[in-house]
């Protein structure tokens, strides 16, 4: 029976494959989209039927969660302020001899700048003989001694927060005071008090909230300390307004309460959640109008249903009407790939947009450009190398033929030094060409070897210039500046010498006979810059951006395969440096090499 089911399933799969193979790709696409959309449509339709109640419950839960977040943020703020007061108070009390009132005031003023919500700091010693405050209005500072929480601290309480205070000391602006006892064992050294500007509590209670929900804080007397939905300029009577809201009940029962109440201020029913704030006797609350909660749920339900119907219809229309447009890029890519495989390297695809197929088309074009560029570079490389190799090989071949002729004719081989010098020069030239080719291969492969060590750059520059001083037949004037004292960098001495020799060789090559070539070393704060200047023909502006490319030559009539500057720049970059050029046609060029100093 089991085997029969397996064979029947296999036959079913074979039939399915057969029917699919008879369909066009557009039909398959439409079928695939339908198989995905139909179950999704049914599932979302069932979900939306229950969405109204779910959305309502989510809104209620969000209000309760917001109340707990308000509680946590505000308590964390107060706890942090208590800890700061304790640290500051201990720093004041441990001083020996005791600090004067002026020095204590400086301590308090310095701490005042760290928190924009703190309006003032006050210090009271145990016997109340010294009161230090940062408030400018000093005549009311005795009011601090009348606070009830001062007596609580003297009776052993360590952390206190006052209810809402309106005092002449603060120009009758409503504030709260947070006080901390500074003790050593049972002994009271002093009381540190921070006055909080409740109009600045927005800086503390900036929660991720929508425009519907309201959050707030009430003190132990039910007075409104903070509310994001009410102007900070409300009267004291409005702050003391008592109603039968969950926040009032939570203050009396000291427990979290959720419920509804009618707001005289808003003239509507409110859903509110209130939670007690630890160690303060206060309460945090969050609320929202009930009609807004239900309207949000209704809005989400209608929106989801409309979106579902619209998106389903749109998807089906897009599959039917634009199937050919969607599949056209694939056809273009297929045709272009075949053309390139047949040698048409200039083939490109035109796929507009920003989707995955457009990205694939862009990647395909870049790949085709890279293949074409590699083929062109390969052909140009073979052409240049063949031409450059032919000249020294022809010279060496001529010298060998001359020697063979003299031997064949029985003539003595004498006075061959000039010819051997020519042969040696041509062999060195061949060696240089091969070295440049091998270095280019290493650079493009990302594995150019460097033997890094502390290097005296002055010594490298002198060694680079020395061969040209001995062999320069055009009598150029070499000027070296600032190369007396050692300058150290981390680098490969041989590679750096190759860079400078190449730049000096180019300066000689493109300069007139007897022209001045300057090599100047300049030490900066973190880098050293070496400039090589000539009075040659200069570089046209339209070619400045290409001279560091491989196989590029400004003047094709001079020897070389166009790799020297490419290799030099790569070596300098491997040394964490820069190589650039400034040039004016007809007046000369200056190449700059910047390397980080080794100190």
Residue 410 sits in the same domain as residue 463? no
Chain center to CA of 240:
50
Of 24-28, 57-61, 78-82, 514-518, where does the model show the most confidence? 78-82
In a domain, 470, yes or no: yes
Considering the domain architecture, whether residues 76 and 180 belong to the same structural domain is answered as: yes
List the alpha helices (DSSP H) in 23-126: 25-49, 51-93, 101-112
Look at residue 6 and tell me if it is in a domain: no
Tell me, yes or no, whether 414 lies in a domain.
Answer: yes
Q: Can you give the residue range of the structural domain that contains 210?
A: 20-310
Last residue of a domain, one of 310, 341, 367: 310
Is residue 593 over pLDDT 80?
A: yes
Instruction: For 150-186, list the strands marked E by DSSP.
Output: 159-161, 165-166, 174-184
Burial of 390 (0-12, 13-18, 19+ CB in 10 A): exposed
Please tell me the total count of domains within the chain: 3
Q: Which residue has the higher pLDDT, 40 or 183?
A: 183
**Roughly what angle, to the nearest 10 degrees, separates helices 101-112 and 51-93?**
160
Please tell me the distance from the alpha carbon of residue 150 to that of residue 131, in angstroms, as a whole number: 13
Q: Which has more pLDDT, 573 or 378? A: 573
Residue 161: per-residue pLDDT? 93
Higher pLDDT, 533 or 426: 533
Which domain-ending residue is among 310, 332, 347?
A: 310
| Higher local confidence (pLDDT), 168 or 442 | 168
Residues in CB range of 214: below 8 A, 6 or more apart: 227, 228, 229, 286, 287, 288
Residue 517 shares a structural domain with residue 394: no
65 plus 183 within the same structural domain: yes
pLDDT tens profile 24-63: 666 766 677 777 777 777 777 777 767 667 777 788 888 8
Task: Give the pLDDT band (50/70/90) at residue 384.
Answer: low
pLDDT at site 2: 45
For position 155, what pLDDT does the model report? 86
Give the CATH number, domain containing residue 467: 3.30.565.10
**Residue 472: predicted pLDDT:** 65
Q: What is the pLDDT of residues 480-508, one digit of tens each?
A: 998 888 999 999 888 898 889 889 888 88
CATH classification of the domain holding 160? 3.30.450.20
Closest CA to 576 of 550, 564, 594: 594
Region 556-573: what's the mean pLDDT?
A: 74
- Helix 356-408 crosses helix 290-341 at what angle (to 10 degrees)? 30
Q: DSSP class of residue 169?
A: G
- Rounded to whole angstroms, the Cα distance separating 457 from 464 reads 10
Residues 102 and 167 in one domain: yes
Mean pLDDT of 243-270: 82
Domain-embedded: residue 210: yes
Q: What is the pLDDT of residue 241?
A: 67
229: left (phi over 0), alpha (psi -120 to 50) or beta: alpha
Q: Identify whether the C-beta of residue 248 lies closer than 8 Å to the C-beta of residue 219.
A: no
Examine the domain organization and report whether 66 and 139 are in the same domain: yes
Residues 398, 462 within the same domain: no
Q: For position 432, what pLDDT does the model report?
A: 63
Residue 99 is classified by DSSP as P
- Please tell me whether residues 393 and 274 are part of one structural domain: no
Query: pLDDT value at position 179?
Result: 93
Q: Provide the 3-class DSSP secondary structure of residue 424.
A: helix
Residues 455 and 410 in one domain: no
- DSSP 3-state percent helix, strand, coil across the chain (nearest 5): 55, 20, 30
Is 316 part of any domain? no
- What is the token pair recorded at 530? 């070496």
Phi, psi of 206, deg, nearest 5: -85, 80
On whether residue 341 sits in a domain, the answer given is no
Burial of 404 (0-12, 13-18, 19+ CB in 10 A): exposed
Same domain, 27 and 132: yes
Whether residue 7 has pLDDT greater than 50: no
Q: What is the pLDDT of residues 99-118, one digit of tens each?
A: 888 888 888 888 888 888 99
Report if residue 122 sits inside a domain. yes
- Quick check: helix, strand or coil at residue 160? strand
Choice between 80 and 559, residue whose per-residue pLDDT is larger: 80
Structure tokens, 28: 């398959």
Q: What percent of the chain has pLDDT over 70?
A: 78
Q: What is the pLDDT of residue 90?
A: 87
Q: Are residues 53 and 116 part of one domain?
A: yes
Residues 6+ apart with CB under 8 A from 260: 269, 270, 271, 272, 290
388 near 403, Cβ under 8 Å? no
Asked if residue 468 belongs to a domain, the reply is yes
Whether 377 and 277 share a structural domain: no
pLDDT bracket for residue 387 (50, 70, 90)? low
């Amino acid at each position: 029976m089991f085997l029969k089911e397996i064979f029947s399933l296999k036959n079913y799969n074979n039939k399915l494959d057969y029917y699919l193979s008879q369909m066009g790709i557009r039909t398959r696409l439409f079928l695939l989209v339908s198989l995905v959309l139909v179950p999704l449509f049914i599932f979302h339709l069932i979900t939306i039927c229950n969405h109204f109640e779910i959305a309502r419950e989510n809104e209620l839960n969000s209000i309760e969660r917001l109340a707990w977040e308000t509680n946590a943020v505000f308590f964390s703020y107060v706890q942090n302020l208590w800890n700061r007061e304790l640290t500051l108070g201990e720093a004041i009390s441990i001083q020996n001899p005791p600090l004067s009132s002026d020095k204590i005031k400086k301590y308090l003023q310095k701490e005042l700048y760290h928190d924009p919500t703190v309006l003032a700091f006050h210090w009271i010693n145990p016997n109340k003989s010294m009161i230090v405050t940062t408030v400018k209005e000093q005549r009311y500072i005795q009011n601090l001694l009348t606070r009830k929480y001062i007596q609580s601290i003297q009776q052993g309480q360590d952390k206190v927060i006052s209810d809402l205070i309106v005092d002449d000391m603060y120009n009758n602006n409503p504030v709260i005071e947070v006080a901390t006892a500074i003790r050593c064992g049972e002994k009271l050294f002093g009381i540190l008090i921070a006055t909080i500007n409740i109009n600045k509590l927005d800086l503390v209670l900036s929660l991720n909230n929508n425009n519907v929900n309201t959050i707030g804080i009430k003190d132990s007397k039910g007075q409104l300390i903070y509310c994001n939905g009410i102007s900070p300029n409300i009267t004291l009577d409005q702050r003391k307004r008592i109603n039968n809201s969950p926040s009032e009940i939570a203050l009396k029962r000291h427990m979290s309460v959720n419920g509804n109440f009618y707001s005289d201020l808003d003239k509507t029913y409110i859903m509110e959640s209130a939670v007690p704030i630890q160690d303060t006797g206060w309460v945090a609350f969050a609320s929202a109008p009930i009609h807004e909660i239900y309207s949000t749920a209704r809005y989400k339900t209608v929106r989801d249903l409309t979106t579902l119907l619209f998106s389903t219809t749109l998807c089906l229309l897009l599959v039917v009407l634009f199937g050919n447009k969607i599949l056209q890029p694939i056809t273009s890519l297929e045709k272009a790939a075949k053309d390139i495989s047949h040698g048409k390297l200039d083939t490109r695809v035109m796929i507009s947009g920003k989707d995955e197929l457009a990205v694939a088309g862009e990647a395909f074009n870049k790949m085709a450009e890279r293949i074409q560029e590699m083929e062109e570079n390969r052909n140009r490389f073979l052409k240049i190398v063949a031409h450059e190799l032919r000249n020294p090989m022809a010279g060496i071949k001529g010298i060998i033929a001359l020697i063979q002729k003299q031997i064949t004719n029985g003539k003595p081989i004498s006075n061959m030094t000039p010819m051997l010098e020519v042969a040696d020069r041509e062999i060195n030239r061949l060696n240089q060409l091969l070295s440049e080719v091998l270095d280019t291969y290493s650079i493009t492969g990302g594995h150019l070897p460097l033997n890094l060590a502390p290097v005296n750059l002055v010594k490298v520059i002198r060694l680079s210039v020395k061969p040209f001083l001995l062999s320069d037949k055009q009598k150029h004037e070499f000027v070296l500046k600032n190369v007396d004292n050692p300058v150290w960098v981390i680098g490969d001495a041989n590679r750096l010498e190759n860079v400078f020799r190449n730049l000096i060789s180019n300066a000689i090559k493109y300069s007139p006979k007897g022209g001045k070539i300057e090599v100047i070393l300049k030490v900066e704060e973190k880098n050293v810059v070496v400039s090589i200047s000539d009075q040659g023909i200069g570089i046209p502006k339209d070619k400045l951006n290409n001279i560091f490319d491989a196989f590029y030559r400004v003047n094709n009539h001079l020897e070389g395969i166009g790799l020297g500057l490419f290799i030099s720049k790569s070596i300098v970059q491997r040394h964490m440096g820069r190589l650039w050029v400034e040039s004016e046609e007809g007046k000369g060029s200056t190449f700059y090499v910047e390397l980080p100093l080794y100190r």
